[in-house]
Chain A
């Protein structure tokens, strides 16, 4: 197999100077590598975990259920050794999640930090839902006096949404909603009969409510030599058909094809090195995860895409005389304002009808109910600000559901178990979380990992606004199911622990003012002009949309700006 560190260009990494370094190969790092390589920069892509090559390393992708010894259930060993990751993984995808034992962190309050340390990061296991933010989101902080103002508006990012959508390939339908802008879409997936019924009844029964097909980075036709989706619904094992977007399937191969990419797995960044005379970062210091040897690499520009918590950790660990609180952290905001969407609240119900209807295929997508609260004066709530959207999905019960409901055993039980059950609808809300300064990542003063890096220590609590919103998230779901004539409607509100949604954001926020923010409107560090941060840490507010599409658009935009600044000589 050879040395994995020589991957892609096939030659040993003896070179230590590049034009650009990208830290992290997840969904935003992959984009940074692609854009910078395509713009002709010799780029070093650093990934702390192992390599995962598209298709070749999707070891479980084609396994039928009976070849998984635990049939997807986690074992006692999983729960004991990986108390956090085992919440998120199953037997078929756990090789794309870290070992909690090997990668500890400190929970000052409960926070589930779900991670995938490998090339492609969590782009292999992401939920793939893609929604644009709008000015309702970009203006909210300023209008309500919460946190700080975003330094950009929708017009700044709109062309970049389009730019990334055209490469990613997102199936969906234009709906003309101002607060959930349309984009460039591949054909939408189909709703099934109960979802069509739900849409019709709810849109009739509740004025202004809209039910739309989910917008997902699953390809409904072949796109950029990938896909189409085969409707197996096994995405998070890695897709041998390239049916969904990941760094591995899409951006990294394109970056590599330019001949400008050097990918170095097993490279844990210890710190970004600062040159106080030039007032620029000069490179990075890494430790090889396997050999524990340290190396330095140098470049003109650095993109930090190590994930919201990982990037904050690197900045805080990059201490120098110029930046005793961490690189570019004179504002003291690095690590603060940590957000994650709150969810696991909604309702489910049963529909007594359509007994003669069914479907073929396993759609890796559901329907979406765009935000409908606090859009304008008419929809203003007095009990909370911002809003939430629902992901929902109608299906006929199969054995995992029917077996729990059906009493008894024997022939009759078997017959019912193997027959399609009732139509049901499940609706879950994803809610915006406000930026709270107190929710933060710091470095533990004493505890270190096995590479000698101080552990990330996380303090996180949802606030009163989220708690008030959850009541509405539950009751509005029940209301819609009632309106659409569903039976046995049950609301639910399980504990939503921070991190569970895997939408961490906010630890190096964008803003106008260097005193209160870390990044400017170009995702460029106010204080270190050749460092750009375009992962979730840049988010000034969380909105309620699934955030990855926004990271991708901001990354492409920042790369374009960075290279033009570099060419003008403003960054060296």
Chain B
């Protein structure tokens, strides 16, 4: 019996990944993203998108050399907040890799959908519209403002562009949103409501309000003089996260159909675990019991035990609270295996993509399995006694293994863990 079937006596539909897409501060497509994170390159720099000179935090990870005109018509781009642009770009790459292109009349189109995960939606558009409202009055706000702002529109836009006429929804759980999106999309396929789902998320909040708001919550690093060294998960001198922007998308398919059409299986979505800290609006529950339950639930859903986990892509934000708590949670969830399993935080290079983080880190986890190489946690110079696991410091590491876990924890106490199986697992008969 394959891992995905182990938990339940009856046959359950299996969900595989057949396409991936990324746009990030370290690369505007999957290949350049992977190259950067395996070379330990940081995408963090001084903020240039707006005048951040009055801010406590003046650094962020923006998408480099981004020209919307390269991807969208002038007429269309006016209606697209940056957050939607990012998700649409990632979705295009994923669909192209999967080799899927539907006409609206195709039967398969009605059996395909989208789940988008995001934190804020069109923040930049929202703040622009409020400014217009204040300065010029209600009859000067844009008729397309509301559509640009609402968080679900990114899902709608992708369904429009790719003719996906089945379940199209959106999940909003802050920094775990796009991890939830992938899990929820897999569940939609498992219960038979769709055969293909485009799942992922994005965020674009490097704006004056975005930075000011998080800075005031004391969540952001203020290592403004050394941007590339600011995001230092698990390091003793970490002082907060660095905001990133971008998005990721996975094409998920029911496994038998994917094989029947000759798709290349990149990985299998094996486990989806969720829990709530039920503790504080921003701080994790001390001791990591909440996150540990999500990890255990994901392993149980995948039908694996901790001895089989080969890599954990940590939430690893570089905040004092998260990194210590996540370390404790990994120990609770994995027991003795916690000291064996390599754990790395790719946020050390990309920054924190908030609602888009889960999807981008899912791509990193799947690539790690596919290429047998773990991207490092960079800037890990001084170990913190509370963070004493193997975080793959500073250099990538070759490994072999079949199961990777990805953690995403959001403000509000949302804990989400996904377990991915390698393509070897995905291709194995149940």
Indicate, yes or no, whether A interacts with B.
Answer: no
